[in-house]
């Protein structure tokens, strides 16, 4: 199998995400409650029993690109939230608040790297207004396929775990240490 470069894959991921977002917004979200009018803004991102989003390594790489462009203070705060949530998951809990949500700001990756399930979610008045699950399934399958073509694996992990792995891998590379073998596939062109 010939692997895609991570740069090429991130460009393709962006196109998949943009097409998915456009379809959800234009066909379904117009029947959903506007997030800015929500009485409990961000509860869908911070309620540990509601959030259970899993992402691929490629989606984590896209999110890392956004994190890398934050100011030092914000970047450190995100890393601390990611590590805390990742440790919580490692200790056996299935529940976590999204480390990318900041009260008063919102989703830090909303425009550039928001995961598919997060784009899919909105507050709908009626079940009949919800987008079909197959729409999300198809988008996630396309992302998983792209992830496999990039890294050779298609595992989806909870957001904090995937981000902690990606941030750790890149820290190791910056320190001159070799990335884990599952991450070296991206080095092949």
pLDDT attached to residue 182: 38
pLDDT attached to residue 139: 97
Closest CA to 168 of 81, 89, 64: 64
Query: For the segment 127-148, what is each residue's pLDDT rounded down to a tens digit?
Result: 889 999 999 999 999 999 999 9
- Do 102 and 108 meet the contact criterion of CB atoms below 8 Å apart? yes
Range from 47-56, 135-144, 167-176 that averages highest in pLDDT = 135-144
Residue spans of the domains in the chain: they are: 6-169
Distances (CA, A) of 167 to 31, 55, 174: 37, 14, 11
For CA atoms 67, 10, 25, 120, give the dihedral sign.
negative
Q: Is residue 73's pLDDT more than 90?
A: yes
Closest CA to 116 of 60, 28, 66, 55: 55
d(CA 33, CA 122) in angstroms, rounded, equals: 7
Q: 14: pLDDT confidence band, cut at 50, 70 and 90? A: very high
Look at 41 and 78; give whichever has higher pLDDT: 78
Query: For the segment 103-122, what is each residue's pLDDT rounded down to a tens digit?
Result: 888 899 999 999 999 999 88
């Amino acid at each position: 199998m010939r692997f895609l470069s991570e740069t090429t894959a991130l460009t393709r991921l962006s196109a998949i995400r943009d097409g998915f977002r456009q379809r959800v917004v234009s066909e379904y979200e117009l029947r959903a409650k506007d997030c800015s009018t929500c009485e409990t803004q961000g509860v869908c991102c911070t309620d540990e029993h509601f959030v259970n989003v899993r992402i691929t390594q490629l989606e984590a790489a896209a999110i890392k690109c956004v994190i890398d462009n934050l100011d030092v203070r914000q970047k450190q705060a995100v890393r601390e939230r990611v590590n805390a949530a990742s440790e919580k998951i490692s200790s056996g809990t299935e529940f976590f608040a999204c480390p990318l949500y900041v009260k008063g700001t919102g989703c830090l990756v909303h425009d550039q790297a928001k995961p598919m399930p997060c784009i899919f979610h909105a507050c709908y008045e009626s079940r009949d207004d919800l987008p079909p699950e197959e729409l999300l399934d198809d988008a996630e399958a396309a992302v998983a396929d792209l992830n496999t073509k990039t890294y050779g694996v298609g595992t989806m992990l909870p957001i904090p775990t995937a981000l902690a792995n990606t941030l750790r891998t890149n820290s190791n590379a910056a320190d001159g240490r070799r990335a884990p073998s599952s991450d070296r596939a991206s080095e092949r062109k």
